[in-house]
């Protein structure tokens, strides 16, 4: 029995001894993931080493603060873990500073926003009063500082163009922190209109310009965005949560690598990076002190076991084979797009430069919600997503977002992507909307069953976690 099988079997049996239902859910999740054609662009498969790094007694420590400056005693091993994770992150992204404590991408963005607010608003304010600590302020001065910090201006990509909720939209805390305005895409091309973005920035004069996306299928010219930010005196932040693996794998370089151009960069670690669920912040040295205040400014206690898993993931991403993987992610994405286009499926922007493809399902008479569920019925896991000027809004949507990081991790290549495109097309053409609802639809169960079996056949030569045998 190999080490991975031994480790996971032992862990599951230990769980089963306390609560069998949880053990069963863990085993069933592995089964479901093995059997599903996973095309959710924000999901991937972490290595056994990453997963095992999270299941240990590093979880038992409180470690507020930073390396060597903790609010709790007994953190020397957490210091080692965090320092190693930072070392690998800095080397991986060629960044002068890294902060690996955020629990998620949203947390990473909040740390970044408050670091920028502290740098641009709080520090100058405190210098004005000759004070260095907010605790030294009187109640009146504190109220004045809070007023000065609130309602600063942010410019980010619109949600329907591919931006993220954390880029200043009202349902998210960022929309309550900032007076937000959006830039979008050229309706004719579906790609960022940089001259229009520049004009918005000149007129709006934001404190922060946010680059990055959650559902934009093209490269972004971060050098141009930095020029615009400098022109209007804005701090330039990039959220690379989705495409960090393409940066780490040196697929995105030069003007398309955000790290040399942005003042501050945030990311998740579990999408194209193939790490644990979590976040990280990279920054220029002048923002390092402010980012280090992330805990307790925004975050609770750092998760030592997750930082350990991040260190493993960063170390894995520094290996040559990860660059090969990253290139294959894009090759597969482009092959999937080409397969869909050959079948007359409409794609937002007409194709892709990265790991994701955005399908406009309106020509099929479907909403995104109907298409998402019909595909799931057929063993194809995707997620609905808004498209530019979406008539169905952000809940029902008119789009389906698909991505190739997970299937590429399993070993599928360009040839399989055409087969996947055919399955998607088959389901979309076979789904009949129910005119009385944006959610209900009709799909022949025999067709769904046939597609599910075909999906299983495509996956069969590429077993998931082949070294793990749970019996």
CA geometry: angle 268, 270, 273, nearest 5 deg: 90
pLDDT at 146 over 90: no
Task: Identify whether 271 is a catalytic site residue.
Answer: yes
Q: Exactly one of 226, 271, 369, 410 is catalytic; name it.
A: 271
SS3 60: helix
Q: Which of 1-10, 165-174, 355-364 has the lowest mean pLDDT?
A: 165-174
**Mean local confidence (pLDDT), 38-49:** 96
Task: Identify whether 64 is a catalytic site residue.
Answer: yes
Task: Identify whether 62 is a catalytic site residue.
Answer: yes
Share of the chain above pLDDT 70, in %: 100
Q: Using one digit for the tens of pLDDT, what is the confidence trace for 420-461?
A: 999 999 999 999 999 889 999 999 999 999 999 999 999 999
Q: Exactly one of 4, 107, 119, 239 is catalytic; name it.
A: 239
Which residue did the predictor score with more confidence, 173 or 75? 75
Comparing C-alpha atoms, which of 357, 359, 349, 313 is closest to residue 331? Answer: 357
Comparing C-alpha atoms, which of 172, 61, 188 is closest to residue 106? Answer: 172
pLDDT at 144: 87
Task: Identify whether 21 is a catalytic site residue.
Answer: no
192: left (phi over 0), alpha (psi -120 to 50) or beta: beta
Average pLDDT, the chain: 95
Q: Are the beta carbons of 380 and 39 closer than 8 angstroms? A: yes
Residue 157's DSSP bridge partners are 183
- Cβ count near 18 (within 10 Å): 8
pLDDT at 125 over 90: no
Domains parsed from the chain with CATH numbers: 58-317 (3.40.640.10), 320-459 (3.90.1150.10)
Q: Using one digit for the tens of pLDDT, what is the confidence trace for 330-360?
A: 999 999 999 999 999 999 999 999 999 999 9
Q: Exactly one of 35, 62, 194, 289 is catalytic; name it.
A: 62
Q: Interhelix angle for 414-430 vs 445-459, to 10°?
A: 170
- Distance, CA of 470 to CA of 33 (rounded, Å): 14
- Cβ count near 205 (within 10 Å): 12
Q: What pTM, to 2 d.p., does this model score?
A: 0.94
pLDDT at 132: 67
Q: Exactly one of 90, 181, 277, 343 is catalytic; name it.
A: 277
**Mean local confidence (pLDDT), 371-375:** 98
Whole-number Cα distances in Å, 17 to 10, 248, 372: 11, 41, 37
Q: Exactly one of 66, 266, 268, 408 is catalytic; name it.
A: 268
Q: Using one digit for the tens of pLDDT, what is the confidence trace for 282-297?
A: 999 999 999 999 998 8
């Amino acid at each position: 029995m190999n080490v991975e099988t031994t480790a996971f079997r032992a862990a599951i049996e230990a769980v089963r001894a306390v609560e069998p239902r949880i053990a069963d859910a863990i085993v069933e999740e592995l089964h479901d993931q093995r059997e599903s054609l996973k095309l959710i662009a924000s999901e991937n498969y972490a290595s056994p080493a990453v997963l095992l790094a999270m299941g240990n007694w590093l979880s038992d420590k409180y470690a507020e603060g930073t390396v060597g400056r903790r609010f709790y005693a007994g953190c020397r091993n957490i210091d080692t873990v965090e320092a190693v994770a930072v070392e690998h992150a800095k080397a991986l992204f060629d960044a002068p500073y890294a902060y690996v404590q955020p629990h998620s991408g949203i947390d990473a963005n909040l740390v970044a926003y408050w670091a920028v607010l502290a740098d641009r608003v709080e520090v100058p304010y405190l210098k004005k009063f000759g004070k260095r600590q907010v605790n030294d302020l009187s109640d009146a001065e504190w109220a004045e500082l809070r007023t000065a910090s609130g309602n600063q201006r942010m410019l980010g990509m619109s949600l329907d163009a591919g931006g993220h909720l954390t880029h200043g939209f009202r349902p998210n805390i960022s929309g309550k922190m900032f007076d937000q305005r959006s830039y979008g895409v050229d309706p004719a091309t579906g790609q960022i209109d940089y001259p229009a973005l520049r004009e918005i920035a000149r007129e709006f004069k934001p404190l922060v310009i946010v680059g990055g996306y959650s559902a934009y299928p093209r490269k972004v010219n971060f050098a141009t965005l930095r020029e615009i930010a400098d022109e209007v005196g804005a701090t330039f932040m990039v959220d690379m949560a989705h495409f960090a693996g393409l940066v780490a794998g040196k697929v995105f370089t030069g003007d398309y690598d955000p790290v040399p151009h942005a003042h501050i960069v945030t990311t998740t670690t579990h999408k194209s990076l193939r790490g644990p669920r979590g976040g990280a912040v990279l920054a220029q040295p002048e923002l390092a002190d402010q980012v280090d205040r992330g805990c307790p400014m925004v975050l609770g206690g750092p998760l030592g076991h997750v930082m350990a898993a991040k260190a493993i993931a960063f170390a894995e991403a520094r290996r040559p084979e990860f660059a090969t993987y990253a290139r294959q992610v894009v090759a597969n994405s482009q092959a999937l797009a080409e397969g869909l286009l050959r079948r007359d499926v409409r794609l937002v922007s007409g194709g892709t430069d990265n790991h994701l493809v955005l399908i406009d399902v309106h020509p099929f008479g479907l909403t995104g919600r109907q298409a998402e569920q019909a595909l799931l019925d057929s063993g194809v896991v995707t997620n609905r997503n808004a498209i530019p000027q979406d008539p169905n809004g952000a809940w029902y949507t008119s789009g389906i977002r698909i991505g190739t990081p997970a299937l590429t991790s399993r070993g599928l290549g360009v040839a399989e992507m055409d087969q996947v495109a055919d399955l998607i097309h088959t389901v979309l053409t076979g789904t009949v909307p129910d005119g009385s609802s944006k959610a209900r639809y009709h799909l022949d169960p025999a067709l769904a069953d046939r597609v599910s079996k075909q999906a299983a056949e495509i996956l069969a030569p590429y077993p998931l976690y082949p070294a793990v045998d749970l019996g």
